[in-house]
Amino acid sequence: MNLKSIILTCFACLSYLSSLLIIYLAGLELAVVSGPGIWLKMSVFAVPFIYLLTRLYTKRDKPWGTLSGLFFVIYLFCTFSVLIAWPGLFHNLPLKSAVGAQAMNLKQVRDSLSRYIEANGTVPPDLSSALSVIPVIKIPLTPHKASSEVRVSTFADIRDTGQWLYIADSSAPVILIDCTHTDHEGNHWSSY
């Protein structure tokens, strides 16, 4: 093996290891929102780099194929593009997206309740009267399971169930998220 091949092999090894690190860090960001199942999906991205690392070791006498230079340049371009876009791409973006989705679900449920009250002139006894389908609530960074269940109460008693809380007051009905945990900014879910 000549010096050029040794330098290329070392550089490729560092590049592949850094790619595995990027995949691992992306998995950590996404696991906050998606749960541990994301690791199986992330391993699909890691398999080619593990293969390339193994190939570098097992084919030490000829680690580079015919078009390897072209593929390596494309690989470096893609890697540097991801690293440049990293702060905007993964800086709590999956978490912010999940929080925004739950806030949007809450707004949708509140809008449907308002439309029902305007149309019928009365407060529904439960949310199933006002909504044909109750959206699933999945609160990130909490131990609560995804649920579309609704707890009905006559006053705001937050019990940390991770469900919708419908306060069926005849003068001013309210829909809350029944959770005492906080979001990524420190706001209680029940205060949304």
pLDDT of 175 higher than 80: yes
User: What is the pLDDT confidence band of residue 12, given thresholds at 50, 70 and 90?
Assistant: confident
Strand pairing report for 150-153 and 163-167: parallel
Return the percentage of the chain with pLDDT > 70, whole number: 79
DSSP per residue, 28-70: HHHHHHH-TTHHHHHHHHHHHHHHHHHHHHHTTTS---TTHHH
φ/ψ region of 170 (left if φ > 0, alpha if ψ in -120 to 50, else beta) reads: alpha
**Rounded to two decimals, what is the model's pTM?**
0.58
User: What is the pLDDT confidence band of residue 30, given thresholds at 50, 70 and 90?
Assistant: confident
What count of other Cβ atoms lies within 10 Å of the Cβ of residue 21?
Answer: 11
Return the percentage of the chain with pLDDT > 90, whole number: 0
pLDDT of 106 higher than 70: yes
